[in-house]
Amino acid sequence: MKLPVGSFVTVLAQSGTGEGNFDMQMKTVLTAAIATCLAPMVSAQVLEEVVVTAQKRAQSLQDVPISVSVTSGEQMNAMSINSLEELSGTLPNVTIAENATQDSVTVRAIGSGANQGFEQSVGTFIDGVYFGRGRSSRSPFLDVERVEILKGPQGVLFGKNTIAGALNISTRQPTREFEGYVEGEYFEGDDSFGVTAVVSGPLSDRVAGRLVARYTDIGGYMNNIAPNGPNHERDSLAVRGILDFEASDRLTINVKGEFSSFDVAGRHLQLIEGGPITPLYQSVDPNYEQNFDFTQSINYSFFQPDFDETDAQNLTATVRYDWDTVTLVSTTAFVGYEYDNNIPANFAANIETAAKLYNEEHEQFSQEFRLESATGGAFEYMVGAFFQTEDIDHLQNFDFNTTQGRADGFPLPPFVGRTQFDIDQKTDSIALFAQGTWNVSDRLRANLGLRYTDDEKDIDFVQTTTGSLPFPNRTIIDTREDSDVTPALSLQFDATDNLMTYINLSQGFKAGGFDFESGAQFEEETVDAIEVGFKSLLLDGSLELNVALFDSQFEDLQVAAWNGVAFVTSNAAEATTQGAEIDFRWQLSESLQLTGALALLNGEYDSFPAAVCGAAQQVQWGIDTGLNPNTCQQDLSGKPLQFAPDYAGSLNLQHYQDLSNGMDLVTTLGVEFSDAYFTALDLDPISEQDSYARLNARVQLSQGDKWSVSLVGKNLTEEKVTTWVNDVPFFRGAFFGSIDPPRSFGLQARLSW
């Protein structure tokens, strides 16, 4: 049978790349996809079931009464996805972006800012263990079985800091048969090389093990044209070992240990607007330019170069004991990291004014016990207890030297010196939770969950200033305690054997804390959410279609906004996110599958009268009032949240062809698209990312499970997408931005046994 894949590729290639052609691009892409879908197909195939642990049990995705986006390891391999940042591009209403100090994870336009005092609004869980800090999602994307994005509050089963959702990652486990592979890859767009090695199999009749290691060397995709200026380079190494021990027919013990090292020199940042001081930039840097074009002009005079070095380790032990009607699960984990991070505030050569040098050590111990009933009865339940202790030692040196800039004519204050923040924060969390399911009838189920959480933070904050700086010396020793009860109620009704409808009511809370740049407290954040939807199998099981409508009302939303000098932390009064999400998988034939997702989103502040102003507003405020421009405030009530496009989505088409001599050819085409959105909380116009559509492609030739070779193209439409735009410190009206990788081509090869 001849399939219309070639015509689909041709139409996509001819769709154009200009910003003004976006609507035409989207119409063309969607028309081509629909035409492909509706083309005559024979012998439509039944889809394979997707199994998830979104409710801490292994169950079909179609039985879970919440919106969940699932990507398997095989799918990520087919799309050549090597990081959570890349994965989020394929998941509408999900943004995972790297900023200067950590990764920010946003779901349905709700996330956490860059202040190190923040815990994430989207909790990250790896093999059932909570990773609460902003660097959690920077852990290597290594030997992953499945990634589940649970959208909306997940407080009952996953805990306090899942007010916007949960990122649930499952790694591949040891096999009972010997297997392994070695894989290498090279991409020319960022001059990156990577190699992965895996071996798995039985060590005895009752013990199996898995060992995996990955090393990557990324040359970077920013071109630094300054003399002796470094480029953006990144090295990472990760090693993981897992032992799975079947002690008896009832008792299993799983132990996992992991180490990772993540080293960065330079960053993918560039000056995108010089504003009123453009002539001064040009006078000190003959190579100065401000086009958004993957080009930097940066060197270092006073301060250390830009670097980010992280070493992390974790150890997890999961014990399961099965009785006939109940299972006891114990998960014990230690998570720790240490990082050194230097961020010079220079975005043009020969001009440095300030730098922030961070050193942080983090240690976390957690213990969870769960009792899980057997499934299939009239009533099913899960009850548990959770304890976690966390210790953060955070040292921050904020160095200033404006001597050179002032001599060159820049309008800078006469700052020379250092302000140091030495912070020790300890957190103890305890929780009790329970969830029950009443199978009212063969078609109707009611789920009720409840979690009590108590969270106590103790902080020892010392700020010391030396030199000619107008910053205070202060010591803050303080304690705050937050506790809450978060319920969730859902009803599921099987309208037919292949159509499940549901309504889900839930509350969530995120504990308050301390600002690591001022020692000030911010209050807890809460949400009331409702979601209705359905999950269905259509066309004799060949089409899976899931739809969710949601509305979430947030109170005291925690935000951190950059005012040009520091991140200002506060609680926005009220915010609402509402919209619709559609996910589908369509097995068009034995050899062709189409998957896609579409999200419609309206996220805005209901009340936020004291938000930080943008640069132009600050300047005008200073002129009008004669006051410090940093004290300017604006009313963002009724304005959109950052990372809140009106629509976003993705389409992926995969074609499988059986060749002669046992050879297979797999072709994958993917497009990810988004409407415009703001990347800065102050909604400065320059931070608006325009609409875009990125095309990716992969062609793989393989021989069964023995070997494979793949050609990969990423961002073939050469879209320039920014993940973060902010003000240059001290230079009001100048802006820098972080940019996603350009178009790149790569080669991947795998040898398996």
For residue 81, report the phi and psi dihedrals to the nearest 5 degrees.
Answer: -90, 125
pLDDT at 2 over 60: no
Q: What does the alpha-carbon distance between residue 628 and residue 633 come to, in Å, rounded to a whole number?
A: 11
**Percentage of residues in the chain having pLDDT higher than 70:** 90
**Mean pLDDT, range 232-240, rounded to an integer:** 89
- Asked if residue 15 belongs to a domain, the reply is no
Beta bridge pairs of residue 130: 125
Q: What is the pLDDT of residues 646-686, one digit of tens each?
A: 999 999 999 999 998 889 999 999 999 999 999 988 899 99
Residues in the chain: 753
Whole-angstrom Cα distance, residue 562 to residue 567? 4
CATH for 390: 2.40.170.20
Q: Give the range among 103-107, 233-237, 445-449 with minimum mean pLDDT.
A: 103-107
Establish if 491 belongs to a structural domain.
yes
Is residue 218 predicted with pLDDT exceeding 50? yes
Read off φ and ψ for residue 275, nearest 5 degrees.
Answer: 60, -140
Cα 183 to Cα 181: distance, rounded to the nearest angstrom: 7
Using pLDDT thresholds of 50, 70 and 90, give the confidence band for residue 115: low
The answer as to whether 466 is a domain residue is: yes
Residue 62 is encoded by which pair of tokens? 């179609």
In the prediction, which pLDDT does 138 show?
Answer: 60
Q: How many alpha carbons lie under 13 Å from residue 280 in its C-beta half-sphere? A: 18
pLDDT at 551: 97
CA distance 678 to 683: 6
Rounded-to-integer distance, Cα 540 and Cα 472, Å: 70
List of residues 6+ apart from 183 with CB closer than 8 A? 195, 196, 197, 748, 749, 750, 751
At residue 137, the pLDDT reads 55
Average pLDDT along the chain: 87
Question: Domains in the chain: how many in total?
Answer: 1
User: Per the domain annotation, does 17 fall within a domain?
Assistant: no
| Segment 12-61, tens digit of pLDDT | 334 344 444 444 544 444 444 444 444 434 345 788 899 999 899 899 99
Mean pLDDT, residues 78-90 taken together:
84
pLDDT digits (tens, 9 = 90+) for 715-751: 999 999 988 888 887 788 888 888 888 999 999 999 9
Indicate if the pLDDT at residue 149 is higher than 70.
Answer: yes
Reference 453, options 425, 486, 427, 480; nearest CA is: 486
Read off the pLDDT of residues 348-361 as tens digits, 9 standing for 90 and up. Answer: 777 888 888 999 99
> Is residue 222 very low, low, confident or very high in pLDDT (cuts 50, 70, 90)?
confident
pLDDT on residue 10 = 38
pLDDT tens across 249-269, in order?
A: 999 999 999 999 989 888 888
Confidence of residue 564 (pLDDT cuts 50, 70, 90): low
Q: Which of 620, 524, 605, 538 is nearest to 572 (CA)?
A: 605
Residue 18 belongs to some domain of the structure: no
Which residue type occupies 742? P
Cα separation, 589 vs 542, in Å, equals 8
Most confident of 208-222, 228-242, 507-521: 208-222
Confidence category of residue 136, pLDDT binned at 50, 70, 90? low
Q: Is 46 exposed, middle or buried (0-12, 13-18, 19+ CB in 10 A)?
A: exposed
Look up the domain containing 659 and give its range.
Answer: 41-752
CB 746 within 8 A of CB 185: yes
Strands 677-678 and 688-689: antiparallel
Query: How many whole angstroms separate alpha carbon 95 and alpha carbon 693?
Result: 15
| CB-CB contact of 124 with 167 (8 Å) | yes
* Any domain includes 131: yes
Query: Which residues sit opposite 634 in a β-bridge?
Result: 611
What is the C-alpha to C-alpha distance for residues 377 and 441, in angstroms, rounded to an integer?
A: 11
Report yes or no: 208 and 176 within 8 Å, Cβ to Cβ. Answer: yes
Average pLDDT value for residue range 295-320: 86
Contact by Cβ (8 Å): 83, 98: no
Please give the residue that has the higher pLDDT: either 735 or 137. Answer: 735
10 occurs within a structural domain: no
Q: How far is CA 397 from each of CA 165, 355, 404, rounded to the nearest angstrom? A: 33, 8, 20
User: Smallest Cα–Cα separation from 737: which of 254, 296, 244, 89?
Assistant: 296
Tens digits of per-residue pLDDT, 273-285?
A: 888 888 988 888 8
Over range 78-85, report the average pLDDT.
Answer: 83
Q: Among 231-245, 344-358, 431-445, 530-544, where is mean pLDDT lowest? A: 344-358
Rounded mean pLDDT, 391-409:
90
Comparing CA positions, the residue from 59, 53, 81, 85 lying closest to residue 169 is 53
In a domain, 26, yes or no: no
The least confident of 287-301, 405-419, 614-628 is 287-301
State the Cα–Cα distance between residues 368 and 454, nearest whole angstrom. Answer: 15
Higher pLDDT, 264 or 639: 639
The Cα-based distances of 222 to 263, 265, 296, 455, 540 in angstroms read 17, 12, 7, 43, 50
DSSP state of 63: G
Determine the number of helices (DSSP H) and then strands (DSSP E) in the chain: 8, 42
Residue 174 sits at the vertex; the CA angle it makes with 365 and 68, to the nearest 5 degrees, is: 65
A 10 A CB-CB count for 590 gives 14
Beta carbons within 8 Å of 659's beta carbon, 6+ residues apart:
665
- The encoded tokens of residue 488 equal 């969730």
CB 738 within 8 A of CB 697: no
Q: Can you read off the two tokens belonging to residue 50? A: 């997707």
